[in-house]
Structure 1
């Protein structure tokens, strides 16, 4: 039985009848691999390397591609570029658009790949795959890939507040746990580094066998407290920036949509939840509720083949920050909104399963709640049975 061979060099069997030069960018810190397919060119794609970060060199390469295509065909062609979303962010995409180049950013996980156990993977192969994906996308083939909508610099900058706070809180937990671990090894388990009297309480501590803290142990804990207090001050500063931004939007002093402030009117939604929900997802435009759930990674992922039909849980392919905060908010929703339709639906579902499956049910509630909040901030549909805060 013949074995299909891997075609590492893919010929341009697809005609580029869209009147453009299609270019893919494989980005790394050291080099940028430029793979191009031009009208009237050879049967295979051309490749050229540019030093990483050299935007002038990249634009010069694009100009050379245009000159070669014009010399062969006799007219100018626009350039359509594609790159994967990654560590480089969106600055390259914005720079290309400022130079009148059509640019696309694709979600790399949405591109179909070979399912062979040992498939070949190189920058050369990935560059050709990106060009073919771009061609199919421009031809209008459905579901060939998922293009990323690049946020504006203002939108990208706004969500830094919530992301920085999450990092600071994680570092605060690390220092707090380290201090507790040092003291627990000495038989002390009732010390809380986050209390205001942490310094005074430290002087009063005695080990499990009745000794005062040793010299170097106390010095280490004091240095940990110094770093912890710096973090606490920075968290207060970030919280103040977040609250100020929400207050300005609530008063309508910004030209942007004040939908983030609308979330604060719902009982159980505080400043942090409102800021994260808006900056991580609800500020975007969605055509339907399926897109909302898919963006948060809360869409179902069925496995159906012949007589086999089972559900594998949520896809987890979207924004992890938005998905995490929605699961947290769902648990709080049960406490603060006990009479809402969503809470009653959750209780009925858990009751039918005999009290089991609360975790899977809370994920389903998170999906429903996110869609309900999206409808609330976009068209003003109040969640059925939800209690709003007093003005």
Structure 2
């Protein structure tokens, strides 16, 4: 009786179709097919695949996490791999097609030369969506305000420094004597800006309500400079603190460690890699900038950052403090530790926390 051969599958997922390629343990092509991007259709195609599937690879994308969770629930060994790793392999192909991409993914699964992406839990994914939508409305609000300022500037009307709450009042004061056509379209822009402000305020209040009832985020906020946005962003991005072997690995995961390029006698260290979650990296850097540039109260982290700024630059100090934040928060989460403000770099101690800890 012949044993069942071990096989590997690669799925190139697009908005409408998913190309599936299956190879054996020697890399020989066994089957290729194309199905709609639907978990049931992909499940039926894989269920009738030759051999016993050992790994099924999907490139990280907006659809792959949903598809991977559905396939895993159906019993398939689906794995999401980093897009940079998949892209490096696909570049070796002469022609870029969905069919060839599926073949490359199948070969990556066979060789094992990949790094699996952590599939976050539904709760963390929902929090990330909330934070992303809040940040989107904030950016659009700033863009709208800057556009209104730029529209008034050629008329010699300067808004100047004004709070967000008084922005609309200030603009209406400036355009009270403007021509009717200019007043008409500026009124429209102010209405749009008002709706953006209302939407942003609603999502921001929702974020604050979640942080207020989350004991982990409240504990994160005991670190000087860490506010609700940074705390919730870090919690949603990390999802599971125990997936990092060392606490300092989280800094590299968030793109806060320097690049390195070495070849022969050349060994260069550059700026930070900026790989990983841009939103949580931005939130940590904003928290670090607020601590160093706006806070006046003495803390060990702020004193350390200001000493570093004197030796190098303020930008380097902000990045270093953001990197320290990432390490501190992960250690507090993983070890159920409390923050101790006077210990410099060693800012946590283990403690027994009451009740179950949210992860």
Q: Hey, what does 1:170 align to over in structure 2?
A: 139
Q: CA deviation at 1:115?
A: 11
Contact 1:340 1:386 in 2 (8 A): no
Contact 1:20 1:80 in 2 (8 A): no
Q: Hey, what does 2:19 align to over in structure 1?
A: 33
Deviations 1:205-254 (A, max 9, x none): 369xxxx21111111111111111111111221122112212222xxxxx
Q: Hey, what does 2:43 align to over in structure 1?
A: 59
Give the aligned length: 340
Give the alignment partner of residue 274 of structure 2, picking from 307, 316, 324: 316
Q: Hey, what does 1:219 align to over in structure 2?
A: 184
Deviations 1:102-136 (A, max 9, x none): 11011120347369899543333322221222123
Q: Hey, what does 1:232 align to over in structure 2?
A: 197
Check 1:283–1:217 CA distance in 2 against 1; reply closer, same or farther (3 A cut): farther
Instruction: For 1:283 and 1:97, locate their aligned partners in 2 and report how far apart those are by CA, in whole Å.
Output: 19
Q: Which is greater in Rg?
A: 1
Instruction: For 2:94 and 2:296, locate their aligned partners in 1 and report how far apart those are by CA, in whole Å.
Output: 51
Q: Hey, what does 1:184 align to over in structure 2?
A: 153
Check 1:365–1:247 CA distance in 2 against 1; reply closer, same or farther (3 A cut): closer
Check 1:193–1:341 CA distance in 2 against 1; reply closer, same or farther (3 A cut): closer
Give the alignment partner of residue 69 of structure 2, picking from 63, 71, 94: 94
TM-score by length of 1: 0.77
Contact 1:179 1:193 in 2 (8 A): no
Contact 1:375 1:381 in 2 (8 A): no
Instruction: For 1:213 and 1:386, locate their aligned partners in 2 and report how far apart those are by CA, in whole Å.
Output: 59
* SS across alignment from 1:65: coil
Check 1:25–1:276 CA distance in 2 against 1; reply closer, same or farther (3 A cut): same
Give the alignment partner of residue 368 of structure 1, picking from 324, 335, 358: 324
1:349 aligned onto 2:308 = yes
- Structure 1 unaligned segments of length 5 or more: list them: 1-16, 70-76, 138-143, 250-257
Q: Hey, what does 1:266 align to over in structure 2?
A: 223
* SS across alignment from 1:304: strand
TM-score by length of 2: 0.83
Contact 2:13 2:64 in 1 (8 A): no
- Cα RMSD (Å) of the superposition? 3.1
Instruction: For 1:186 and 1:242, locate their aligned partners in 2 and report how far apart those are by CA, in whole Å.
Output: 39
Q: Hey, what does 2:31 align to over in structure 1?
A: 46
Instruction: For 1:63 and 1:136, locate their aligned partners in 2 and report how far apart those are by CA, in whole Å.
Output: 22
Q: Between Structure 1 and Structure 2, which shows a larger proportion of strand residues? A: 2
Check 1:198–1:323 CA distance in 2 against 1; reply closer, same or farther (3 A cut): closer
Check 1:152–1:118 CA distance in 2 against 1; reply closer, same or farther (3 A cut): closer
Check 1:205–1:94 CA distance in 2 against 1; reply closer, same or farther (3 A cut): same
Instruction: For 1:18 and 1:312, locate their aligned partners in 2 and report how far apart those are by CA, in whole Å.
Output: 50
1:159 aligned onto 2:128 = yes
Instruction: For 1:38 and 1:85, locate their aligned partners in 2 and report how far apart those are by CA, in whole Å.
Output: 23
Q: Hey, what does 1:133 align to over in structure 2?
A: 108
Check 1:236–1:23 CA distance in 2 against 1; reply closer, same or farther (3 A cut): same
Q: CA deviation at 1:383?
A: 5.1
Check 1:296–1:200 CA distance in 2 against 1; reply closer, same or farther (3 A cut): closer
Q: Hey, what does 1:140 align to over in structure 2?
A: none
Instruction: For 2:56 and 2:318, locate their aligned partners in 1 and report how far apart those are by CA, in whole Å.
Output: 41
* SS across alignment from 1:229: helix
**Higher normalized contact order (CA 8 Å, seq sep 6+, divided by chain length):** 2
Instruction: For 2:209 and 2:91, locate their aligned partners in 1 and report how far apart those are by CA, in whole Å.
Output: 53
Q: CA deviation at 1:288?
A: 1.0
Q: CA deviation at 1:148?
A: 0.9
Check 1:383–1:89 CA distance in 2 against 1; reply closer, same or farther (3 A cut): farther
Deviations 1:341-373 (A, max 9, x none): 443433333444xxx433234323321221122
Instruction: For 1:333 and 1:193, locate their aligned partners in 2 and report how far apart those are by CA, in whole Å.
Output: 23
* SS across alignment from 1:50: strand
